[in-house]
Each structure stands twice: as C-alpha cells, then as structure tokens.
Amino acid sequence: MSQRRGRNKDNVAGEVYNSNAVENPLLTQRYSQQQQMGMMGGGGMPDMAQMMEMMQKNMGGMGGMGFPNMAPPDLPPPRPNVLYPYGLAFGASLEALFTFYPNYLNALKTVQMGRRIPKALACDDPTVDEMSEVCTYLKLPHALEPNKKYPRDWMNAGRIRVRLTRPDGSLENPEIKSRKELMLKMAELIPKLQSRKVRLEKEAEAARQAAAAAGGSGATAAV
C-alpha cells in the first residue's frame, strides 16, 4: 500500500485515520503489469524459450509431430548443390559448360515441355543421375546439380553441366561434337544402364505393394 500526505479525519467509529492513506490503483495496476511482463519475457512478447519448453512437455510421447506413436519420417539426407562426378576439380567454374535437363530427352514430354530431340529417339523418364552416368562412360567432364529445377517443370529436379571441348578447342570425345549428339547418345544408352533396370524394378515393386495395400484396406472397409 502506498501512502500520500493528507490530513487526519475521524471515521464513523471514532477512529482517526489519514485521509490519503489509500491504495494507489495506478501503482497496483503497474505492478500487476510488470508481473505479467516478467512472465512474458519482459518485452510484451512471449518468451520463446519458455513457450518451446512448454510445447515440448505438452507434446511428450506424441512423436514430435502431434500424433501419438508416430515416428518422424525417414528422409534421405539432402544432396549437395553441386557434385563433380568426372573430370572437373571440386569448385570448378561451370559458366562455360553446356546445360542439360532430363526433359530434353524425355519421350513422355512434349516439345512445349522441353523435349529437344525426336520422340522416337528419346527415352522414358531419364534421371539426372543416369545422364551423369552416361557422361562418365563417354569420358565427358561434367558437374551434377541435383537440386536445380527446370523452369518448365518444377517437379523434375536436377540438371548436368557438361564440357564438350577442351580449353585448346579440341573435343573431349571425338564422337560427341555437339549438344544434340550428346542428347541423342544419352537417350540411346540410358535404357541400357544396369542402374536404371534396378531402379525401375524397385519402383514397380513399390507400386505393387501400394496397390495391394490399397486393395486390402478397401476389402476390410467393405466387410
């Protein structure tokens, strides 16, 4: 209680009291606000550390995502922005290299979607890793950028940057004289890769398992 200077008065009970010995509501309100501010981190905004601690306590046993007994998804680690599979030193400049996206040689894409070789000579759904594998086989120095997006198809990630000529002007591979020749050669060799065969088999098996699981759940629901 805060007191102000005042004069003494008699109350109805005959007691003498200081007329200004009253509680200061402004100071009381200020103290209450200071208490609240202290609980909120002192700046009017919640203390984020305290809030995170409270959330972690409240979410204990909830799998970290707010769902009971749910483990976080097992995601592969992110790939580096640039890889140097063959012929280029780490950190080498890529400015003068030719750029190739998988859409360039994908038979399932239209010309408007980026295909740059005839459909009859293209291949189905090549990946940037398969393109890199062919370039390594052809001994063409190149870099792989797995996280780059094709402007016409943002769902298709990855591109390679390839050097076709040496600094002295000679060809890295005499059989590959132009970008089009390289695209045609990649489309020819990619379907023959063992790594592609393994990938397609895994994808087919995953699709079969997903279809079986969907069919089983549908049958259970019908019962």
- The DSSP H or E segment spanning 20 is none
Domain-embedded: residue 172: yes
Domain-embedded: residue 105: yes
pLDDT score of 155: 86
pLDDT score of 53: 62
**Sequence-ordered strand ranges (E) for 14-119:** 16-18, 83-86, 98-100
Token match 């995953």: residue?
206
CB 144 within 8 A of CB 128: yes
Q: Which residues contact 213 (CB under 8 A, 6 or more apart)?
A: none
CA 122 to each of CA 45, 175, 181, 190: distance values in angstroms, whole numbers, following the listed order = 59, 19, 12, 10
Q: How does DSSP classify residue 121?
A: G
Q: How many Å apart are CA 100 and CA 162, to the nearest integer?
A: 8
Domain-embedded: residue 127: yes
Domain-embedded: residue 29: no
Quick one: which of 186, 176, 178, 193 has its CA closest to 104? 186
Domain-embedded: residue 47: no
Token match 């749910």: residue?
70
Q: What is the CATH number of the domain that holds 162?
A: 3.30.56.30
Q: Measured at the alpha carbon of residue 93, what is the angle toward residues 152 and 164, in degrees to the nearest 5?
A: 75
Buried b vs exposed e over 126-150: b needs ≥16 C-beta within 10 Å? Answer: bbbbbbbbbbeebebbbbbbbebeb
Domain-embedded: residue 139: yes
The range of the structural domain enclosing residue 178 comes to 83-198
pLDDT score of 78: 80
Instruction: Identify residue 151 by its one-letter amino acid code.
Output: P
Domain-embedded: residue 209: no
Domain-embedded: residue 112: yes
How many domains does the chain contain in total? 1
CB 153 within 8 A of CB 114: yes
Q: How many Å apart are CA 107 and CA 151, to the nearest integer?
A: 18
pLDDT score of 103: 96
Per-residue pLDDT of the chain (223 residues; tens, 9 = 90+): 455 555 555 555 555 545 555 444 444 444 445 444 444 444 455 555 566 666 665 555 444 444 555 555 566 678 788 999 999 999 899 999 999 999 999 999 999 999 999 999 999 999 999 999 999 999 999 999 999 999 888 888 899 999 999 999 999 999 999 999 999 999 999 999 999 999 999 988 999 999 988 877 665 555 5
